[in-house]
Amino acid sequence: MTHALFHASAVDDVLIVAYFVFVIGVGWLLRRSVRTGEDFFLSGRSIPAWITGLAFLSANLGALEILGMTASGAEYGMLTTHFYWIGAIPAMLFLGLYMMPFYYVSKVRSVPEYLKLRYNEATRAVNAISFAVMTVLTSGISLYSMALIFQVLIGWSLTTSILISAVVVLIYVALGGLTSSIYNEVVQFFLIWIGLLPIPLLGLHDLGGWNGMMARLPAGFGHLWSNLGSPSANPMGIGWLGVVLGLGFVLSFGYWTTDFLVVQRTLAARNLRAAQNTPIYAAYFKMLVPILVIIPGLIALALFPNIGHTPGQSYNLALPLLIAKYYPPGMLGLGLTAMLASFMSGMAGNVTAFSTVWTYDIYQSYFRKDAPDKHYVAVGRWAVVIGVLISIGTAYFAASFPSVMDYMQTLFSFFNAPLFGTFLLGMFWKRATPWGGFWGLLCGIVSAILMYVLIPAHVFTSPDAASFWRAWWAWLITVVVTVVVSLATRPKPEAELEGLVYGVTRLPRYSHLPWYKRPGWLAGIALVILVMLNVCFW
């Protein structure tokens, strides 16, 4: 046991135990509905859009969002909101409008499988292996972050916290597959809001409202764009061009449109329109998430001005310090349960995605191609076990980084940025060839890793600036190599591209439906709201 900021009461312990029992119970109840591989890995493609939409967001509302973004809010102010608005909403809308028709209609079971159909087996292999590596590396963030919370707040050891959370996730995902994960993620979404919303409300009241909080913060901490004229004018150390190109374009689209962790939720929708509306519905909720994470980060800096500059009090402790300050015994259990929900939803999302890619894109493709469906379900369950075990190891690796945010952005620049270039050309340029896709993706990933290894960190003004520019150049290298190789090699016949590429695919039309059911209208309204928010916090 280590020194704790707070001591949990019996009521707190009961709430935490009750949550563990509940999520395991969901997996137990749903286990009988899992009969086929499609049931286990894609929920039988039968879930309504509002459920998949909440699960789409909740799968991302994990450790990075809750702990990392609160820390970044304390470190960089409202600039962190760019990760939510320009760094998420446009890409989510683009996924729903333009990319989901190809994912869903082609009946692919994973993102790498789409790459096999569009390019070739070699391209699928590069993506499957890189995604599997990235997924287990990122899932450790959830375990480490949860362990940090429990260590700081109630004195549990790092190892105890990691093992308890890992076992619970292992049980409910292995039992109910993606369906169990999705329904738990919906519950977790509401738990997160109920458990964490009191913090910004109590904090703003304590500080005298928004203006009172701003009076205690450094100049410019309440703005999005006005101090991005030059890298030296803001704490993030980057200008508007780096934000727009690196975050708003490459990292954002690379994650939200190609990362199977989130795309898997859309493939579980009951029909194509539901699949298209899944990320669009999620975009509306995504715009509200800064209330839960960025504002508490600002409150933490206003209340604890030495945070991040005092030994033993890093920015990662912003949220734990606020919970310790505002949550009395009894209510502490609610806050801890919300934290558990966020960390476990993030880890479960990674584990289910890893299980699917390993089973279909690696095991079935290269080890046993013609086994019975029940065999692949069993392999998927064993993959869950393996994924959780590896996550335990990567949790300690994640602890070696100064912040979980730096860790995640580094991984995204390695894998997601090049992948977006491969997808963009594959879906919108029918001349992109199989070997163009392979060499472009491979060169993009290798170049990103080499830039990380060879370019000293001090060249950049901040870790975020390094990730943004690394992602941009990796994407550009992917595109250039893909185009050059494609012009020198033979493309696929158009007949093989139907359902995979614009220009040779018939797209759905929803003109017969009322406006509130049409993806285009819903996306347009979300975009207007996004512009208004950026103007308000300029």
395 vs 487, which has greater pLDDT?
487
Contact 464/236 with Cβ under 8 angstroms? Answer: yes
Give tens-digit pLDDT for 256-291. 887 766 777 777 777 888 888 888 988 998 898 888
What does the pLDDT read at residue 401? 59
Q: Which two tokens stand for residue 413?
A: 């620049």
- Classify residue 97 by its DSSP letter: I
What is the separation, in whole angstroms, between the first and last Cα of the chain?
Answer: 46
**Predicted confidence band at 313 (pLDDT cuts at 50, 70, 90)?**
low
What does the pLDDT read at residue 231? 72
User: What would the CATH number be for the domain defined by 10-536?
Assistant: 1.20.1730.10
What does the pLDDT read at residue 485? 95
Q: Which residue has the tokens 């480490």?
A: 144
What does the pLDDT read at residue 179? 56
226 vs 174, which has greater pLDDT?
226
What does the pLDDT read at residue 39? 46
| For residues 306-335, average pLDDT | 75
Domain limits, the chain: 10-536
| For residues 107-115, average pLDDT | 76
What does the pLDDT read at residue 526? 92
In Å, what is the CA distance from 18 to each residue of 1, 14, 343, 452? 23, 6, 16, 44
What does the pLDDT read at residue 44? 46
Taking the model in full, what pTM does it have? 0.76
Q: Which two tokens stand for residue 44?
A: 């039988």
43 vs 503, which has greater pLDDT?
503
Is pLDDT above 50 for 43? no
In this structure, the dihedral spanned by the alpha carbons of residues 319, 320, 322 and 325, taken in order and rounded to 10 degrees, is 180
Is pLDDT above 90 for 507? no
Give tens-digit pLDDT for 204-262. 999 989 889 888 888 778 888 877 777 777 777 777 777 788 777 887 887 788 776 67
Give tens-digit pLDDT for 124-153. 888 888 877 777 777 777 677 767 666 766
The mean-pLDDT minimum among 40-54, 248-262, 490-504 falls in 40-54
**Predicted confidence band at 174 (pLDDT cuts at 50, 70, 90)?**
low
- Interatomic CA distance for residues 381 and 112, integer angstroms: 20
337 vs 1, which has greater pLDDT?
337
Q: Which amino acid is at 269?
A: A
Long-range contacts of 495-499 (CB under 8 A, 24+ apart): 497/118, 497/430, 499/102, 499/105, 499/106
- Interatomic CA distance for residues 62 and 77, integer angstroms: 20
Orientation of helix 373-398 relative to helix 158-196, angle to 10° = 100
Percent of the chain past pLDDT 90, that is, above it, reads 11
Is pLDDT above 60 for 4? no
Closest CA to 447 of 423, 413, 409: 413
What does the pLDDT read at residue 351? 72
- Interatomic CA distance for residues 398 and 378, integer angstroms: 30
Q: What is the mean pLDDT of the chain?
A: 78
Residue 83 backbone phi and psi in degrees, to 5: -65, -20
